[in-house]
Chain A
Amino acid sequence: MMRVVSFRKAVIAGVCGAAVMEICSALARLAGAPTVDFVTQLSSVAFDHSPVLTNAAALAAHLSIGVCWAIFYAFFFWGRLRVPPLVQGLIFSLLPAALAIFIVYPELRMMRLHTEVVSLSMHSFLEPLSPVTAASLLVAHLLFGLTVGAIYRRPVGYGVGTKPRTPALRRPRPEHGERAGNSSGFMFATGIECSYPTIEHGRWRRDEMDSTRHYSLWQHDFELAREMGITHIRYGPPLHLIFEGIGRYDWDYCDPQMAELRDCGPEPIADLCHFGLPSWLGDFQNGDIGAALAEYAAAFAERYPWVRFYTPVNEMYVCARMSALDGIWNEQLRDEGAYGRAAWNLANASIAMSEAILKRRPDAIFINSESSEFYQPCCPDPHVQQAADAANERRFLPLDLIYAHPLSKPMHELLRAQGIPDQEIKRLAKREVPRRSILGVDYYEWNERLIDRSGKALALGELFGWYVIADQYWQRYRRPMMHTETNRMDANGAPRWLWRQWHNVQLLRRSGVPLVGFTWYSLTDQIDWSIAISEPIGIVYPVGLFDLNREARTVGLAYKHLIDLYRDEPEYRECKALQEIMS
């Protein structure tokens, strides 16, 4: 599958496109202009008994052909060119136009002959095609393309304020796994991608669980994870759909899934806030999100008291950067101060949520997943060096706040400039970090970046590797660690990447770092991954253990191989570092 297609939009676009062709053709005929009418062409081929019936059948056939072409456009062409949708449709229409001119139109003429076999040459085949006919066909198809281009857009996501259908009900199944609730074995994890930021200045909601059809296939997804041997699953119930207001929750969006996870596993790591907020809470510049999200976390912990692993807020640095510095999600600001404000609000929300959960579940374990990043200056230029230093400080800000690590001077100044009082900053610096906190370190091939001479960050690929970058985080925070996300967009190279990441994990463990788990993220392919879901295009990226048909990818087979190879080894069957945390 190469695109997530909105069939509803494609069908409407196809019908409208064919209708526009017909209407314009009729108008042209009325005006006395030469034109080719496909309905007339089709109706005269085979069904010559009743004019009304033949015309109706031919019209239905033409509309169906329009629908097929529009769906074809949606699967293969839409979003491939970085031009406005109208132009995309226009360019695409050259393909059906060429086929209509050089294949279909001459063939339709042949089909009207009253013989079964003819002797044919290229000249006689194309003979009926005059320049006027060809031009008329071309114009008609350009109109079709313009219409399809105008109608077919935003195939994924939905308008803010609307809700997708609630997840499928839980079906009784003969196969049942068993959740290993208190296992202290090494965590072989995956996740269900669940990002739900808004784009287009808060008007359009991306929802990866909806786009990957997890809401309808969730039970099958969990079965696949169990079949893989996955022990833990990072799972983010859709906050924006569940949390309807203070004291108001729509648990239908996660009750069935949570019941299945409770009964059969894998053990969930509940990811409570993943790059987005309910629209009534605004965005990450809102200083009140901490209290509201703490209330949500408390309600969640009360409803699912058996859940022990939590990620209160996922990748706070990435969320703050994409929302407030890169201008891509949610508030879509491009301002260093707004970044500081978002990071502060996210860190405070994470802390408030952890405290609320601990009140209900004192032995809760927090896995604070964060993107591990590193910025390398390209040259000794002081400006470049300064930009790299600033970026390297910025990446630590949210973690410094939740782990009570002293802030660097620039980050301290940044927060003060946002009007955050010193005593508030000191309050966080002096707080006691929950004992059962695990630092989750995510790593992708673009996490190491080069600051070029213009100050722009370029992806470096795997220069130093996860071992070196994760070690920087270990040296700074000295917390038990977990590799909480990795994948690769090149599906053929993914098994190689998986094993290399795994060797990094082993090396870091052997060097004495308490490392408790590894994650391939995610279970299925993801949508618009390379553009950070910044536009609703619907491109499928083959990063999952399974594709969107839920067929295993090669990396899925490799991960199962890896799990089968290691899970019964003594040091993985009983992971001492995790044992200590769970005690």
Chain B
Amino acid sequence: MVTILSAHGYDPGPSQRPLRAGAISGIIATVPAIPILVWLGSLEAEAHILGLSPALTIVLGCLAMAIAGAVYARVFGRAGNNPHGGWLFGMVFGFALWAGGAVLVLPLASGGLAPAGKAALGVALSLLVWGLAVGILLPFVHRPLHESLKRGSRHAEVGPDAAAGKDKALRGRAQGQAHGR
């Protein structure tokens, strides 16, 4: 999917700040996810598995979700900025976090312990809701973090030197010829 997303130039341009926007969206998106964890007993189950207090689990969870949000925004790039599809891409990412993180990595990291019953349902639901929220939020969060068109157009990489592309640095003999020697 990463190849699909980047192959057509969906990487953000120099005026966009995907990591910052993603991290902020990731933290805000924990707001609807945490009550689900609490309601279905998932928070206590996870705290028990990790050997931490519930409060510390929430703090670490928020930090992890900020990183996850940044990763989401960087990987999905311009696709993540799409207000029409963002919700779905976010849910896809949330599902991937659940399938990869909660189902596979957490049991491995905790010596085989995993949430079960309603706690397991809570983990799945909270990650899907987090993904949905981050997908909905990102298109709106990243806009005010943008550089303006005017400022963005002053970056050196979009200026006249771009005509030479990657070959612009002349070396050795070629440089001598360019200087007329």
Contact = CB atoms under 8 A, between A and B. Distances in A.
A119 B111 CA distance: 8
Given A110-B120, A500-B163, A554 B13 contact: yes
Interface stretch (A24-32, A177-185, A555-563): A555-563
Interface string B155-173: 1011110111100000000
A367 B41 CA distance: 70
Given A1-B78, A76-B1, A503-B163, A71 B114 contact: no
A68 interface: yes
A118 B113 contact: yes
B14 A120 contact: no
Chain A, interface SS category: helix
A111 B120 contact: yes
A551 B82 CA distance: 10
A125 B102 CA distance: 13
B67 interface: no
A499 B118 contact: no
A94 B124 CA distance: 22
A297 interface: no
A564 B79 contact: no
Interface residues of B, number: 57
Contacts of B91: 68
A12 interface: no
Interface string A546-570: 0111011111111011101100000
A315 B151 CA distance: 36
A111 B139 contact: no
Interface stretch (A397-405, A412-420, A485-493): A485-493
B117 interface: yes
Contacts of B164: 496
Contact of B9 (A111, A117, A542): A542
A2 B112 contact: no
Given A46-B121, A112-B117, A561 B159 contact: yes
Interface residues of A, number: 61
B120 A552 contact: no
Given A111-B121, A118-B113, A549-B78, A490 B9 contact: yes
A239 B92 CA distance: 41
Contacts of A107: 103, 120, 124
A552 B154 CA distance: 13
A213 to B, nearest CB: 9
Contact of B152 (A503, A540, A557): A557
A383 B13 CA distance: 48
Given A1-B82, A117-B45, A541-B8, A561 B118 contact: no
B158 A554 contact: yes
A121 interface: yes
Contacts of A557: 13-15, 149, 152-153, 155, 158
A1 B117 contact: no
A558 B153 contact: yes
Nearest to A102: B99
A495 B78 contact: no
A495 B162 contact: yes
A181 to B, nearest CB: 24
A187 interface: no
B78 A547 contact: yes
Given A103-B99, A554-B13, A557-B153, 6 more contacts: A2-B4, A75-B89, A117-B119, A490-B9, A496-B164, A499-B160
Interface of A: 1-2, 5, 7, 45-46, 68, 71-72, 75-76, 80, 99, 103, 107, 110-121, 125, 227-228, 490-496, 498-500, 502-503, 540-542, 547-549, 551-558, 560-562, 564-565
25 contacts: A2-B79, A68-B88, A71-B88, A75-B85, A99-B99, A110-B117, A116-B48, A116-B117, A117-B49, A117-B119, A118-B113, A119-B113, A490-B9, A493-B165, A499-B162, A502-B163, A503-B163, A549-B78, A551-B13, A554-B14, A554-B158, A557-B13, A558-B158, A562-B160, A565-B160
The 9 A-B pairs of least Cβ separation, nearest first, read A491-B9, A499-B163, A560-B153, A542-B9, A558-B158, A495-B162, A118-B116, A496-B165, A116-B119
